[in-house]
Structure 1
Amino acid sequence: MPSLPPLSPTTRSTLTRNRDRALHDRQALYSLLDQALVCHLGVVLDGSPVVVPTGFGRDGDTLYLHGSTGSANLRAARGADVCVAVTVLDAIVYARSLQHHSMNYRSAVIHGTARPVTDERAKLHGLRVLTEHLSPGSWQHARHPNDKELAAVAVLALDLTEASVKQRSGEPTEEPADLADGTAWAGVLPVQTTFGDPVPATYVPPGTGVPSHVAGRTIRPPAR
């Protein structure tokens, strides 16, 4: 397999603090995006910054976002310079001093121009990518959007050209004096995202089996 190009080293995608936590491998960005379920889209609306939590999906080097065509935030993002942030929390880090309490995490910040996807086939592809990221198997199981629904949804595409990835892992950092004389417990408390038992909607007939693409969702293990 050909190697992937490294993440871009532009001014705004270069870390200014804790540079040792930067990951330059593009596969690290892909792995993070494929695991996370929610991103935060930053736009400027009427001269003021707005950050919107939303779902997303990745296909290759393209990130897809969507929302209502009536959303002022989505309209502001169309063709505009935006920023998308994604974080997966892996653990809470307890140190002997409050100064060194921290988190183990993986995060990405992506900059670029949000391109409106208007071609019907391309729009349906973007919606499929979004659907299969959040609820794998649903595109083949549920009804597809009709013309009215398709007209009411806006799909944006963002190239993963300019991005940074940052990660913290491992034990707490401690001051030498706290290592020598401190008595407080220190360590790592792992955080996991899990899926519970499926709960059918009230209108689903009793005895209807849970489809395998729902029943088969598993724990997303955090990085150690």
Structure 2
Amino acid sequence: MPNATHYHYSGRALLRLQAIVFQRPIALPRDKVYPSNSHLSYAYLDILYHVASNTAALRNLCDRSIETMGKSLVYPKYPRSTLNRYKHRGTYELGKIHSIVNECAVLHVSFPAGPDDPFPAILPMIGQMGSFEYPSADINEPLDCYLHGYVSSRIMNLARATNGEGDAQSQRLPVSISAAHVDGFILSLTPNSHSYNYRSAILHGYATVVTDEAEKHWAMKLVTNGVVEDRYDHTRVPPNKVEMTSTTILRVRIVDGSGKIRDGSVSDERYDRENKALTSKVWTGVVPVWQVMGEPIPAPENEVKEVPEHIRGFIDRVNERNKAYAHDAAVVGLPKEEQH
């Protein structure tokens, strides 16, 4: 690692790293926004890295930081998370992966079902990326994934049974989290070259049940606002004791993650493109696909005449964003790896 060189590093992430390495908490005001353009010498980061490298979990956090080299923070690569096919479509950037997860209405979470069941379990769940310790952390920084579920569901019972003190991986439930969006249907000259424009992400981490009341309330607000922006404060809050008791929140400490993104138009082989008999009869192109939120339908018991602005605004913003992304993805140039 070169000396006398500085690299761009998040001040907040640095404080987190130092707190873990030196095993003492650093008191940070919860409403303070820490600068994202702090500079740190390689020599100091090298010291932190070697101090922290005694455990895999701490080394992972350091690896995320060291791999940035002045760019966006990235997840460390492991065989389970490293892309092999269409590597050019892959990303390990925290910001891109977290955005894919947060914009996905349903996350699929898989976990070991238990010693008596040979099949891994998988559940559709609602979740959001966030940091209770550093609530001002943005999408590009290390975040946990908070999952919302019923108190007696199987994943909650398993996580509760494995909850332990400290950060030992053996005391936490290993989970894999998947999120995906379809942005277009690629209609090519041959069936084999049909495809999707898509964004997908996979996270690996260890889940524990949130027991701290303040963190649980914070996570419920995070997840609720992940469904509809600013919805939490427009409802009857805080949740009552029965609601808090029947709901369980899982915090997943992310170990690694990867994303895969395909955009662009058709990618046909040259010999097919030069076949005039074929090209003259087969339409090719992209059908953009995006999720649309419709006109709100009031409940039979609803007494509010007008749809609130926080709902109207959210619908308009999301519909515009989804449509724009799908259209842009359909016309962007193909990467050289897919130009036949």
Same fold (TM over 0.5): yes
Partner of 2:157: 75
* Cα shift readout 1:115-142 (whole Å, capped 9, x = no counterpart): 2111100011111110000021221111
1:117 paired residue among 206, 210, 229? 210
Segments of 5+ residues of structure 1 without an aligned counterpart are none
Larger Rg: 2
What is the distance in 1 between the residues matched to 2:155 and 2:207? 12
Mapped pair 1:126 → 2:224? no
1:45 paired residue among 105, 113, 121? 113
What is the distance in 1 between the residues matched to 2:72 and 2:147? 23
Partner of 1:7: 75
* Cα shift readout 1:1-45 (whole Å, capped 9, x = no counterpart): 345421221121111222111013222112222322211011121
In structure 2, relative to structure 1, the CA distance for the partners of 1:12 and 1:141 (3 Å cut) is same
What is the distance in 2 between the residues matched to 1:33 and 1:70? 25
CA contact (8 A) 1:92 1:188 kept: yes
Partner of 2:88: 20
What is the distance in 1 between the residues matched to 2:158 and 2:83? 27
* Cα shift readout 1:182-203 (whole Å, capped 9, x = no counterpart): 2211111101111111111001
What is the distance in 1 between the residues matched to 2:268 and 2:101? 31
1:78-157 maps to which residues of 2 (within 5 A)? 78=160, 79-144=172-237, 145-157=239-251
CA contact (8 A) 2:206 2:254 kept: no
Larger RCO of the pair (alpha carbons < 8 Å, separation 6+):
1
User: Which has the larger helix fraction?
Assistant: 2
Q: How many residues align?
A: 223
What is the distance in 1 between the residues matched to 2:78 and 2:183? 27
Partner of 2:129: 58
What is the distance in 1 between the residues matched to 2:93 and 2:151? 35
Three-state SS of the structure 1 residue aligned to 2:200 is: strand
Partner of 1:199: 297
Segments of 5+ residues of structure 2 without an aligned counterpart are 1-35, 38-70, 131-136, 138-142, 161-171, 330-340
Deviates more, 1:141-150 or 1:95-104: 141-150
Q: Alpha-carbon deviation of 1:70?
A: 1.2
What is the distance in 2 between the residues matched to 1:75 and 1:103? 37
Q: TM-score, normalised by structure 2?
A: 0.62
Partner of 2:5: none
Q: Alpha-carbon deviation of 1:77?
A: 4.3
The residue type equivalent to 2:258 in the other structure is S
CA contact (8 A) 1:63 1:158 kept: yes
Q: Alpha-carbon deviation of 1:165?
A: 0.6
Taking only aligned residues, the RMSD between alpha carbons, in angstroms, comes to 1.6
Partner of 1:210: 307
Mapped pair 1:176 → 2:270? yes
Q: TM-score, normalised by structure 1?
A: 0.93
In structure 2, relative to structure 1, the CA distance for the partners of 1:73 and 1:115 (3 Å cut) is closer
User: Which has the larger strand fraction?
Assistant: 1
CA contact (8 A) 2:156 2:209 kept: no
Partner of 1:186: 284
Deviates more, 1:1-10 or 1:189-198: 1-10
* Cα shift readout 1:43-71 (whole Å, capped 9, x = no counterpart): 12133212111111121411110100111
What is the distance in 1 between the residues matched to 2:156 and 2:273? 50
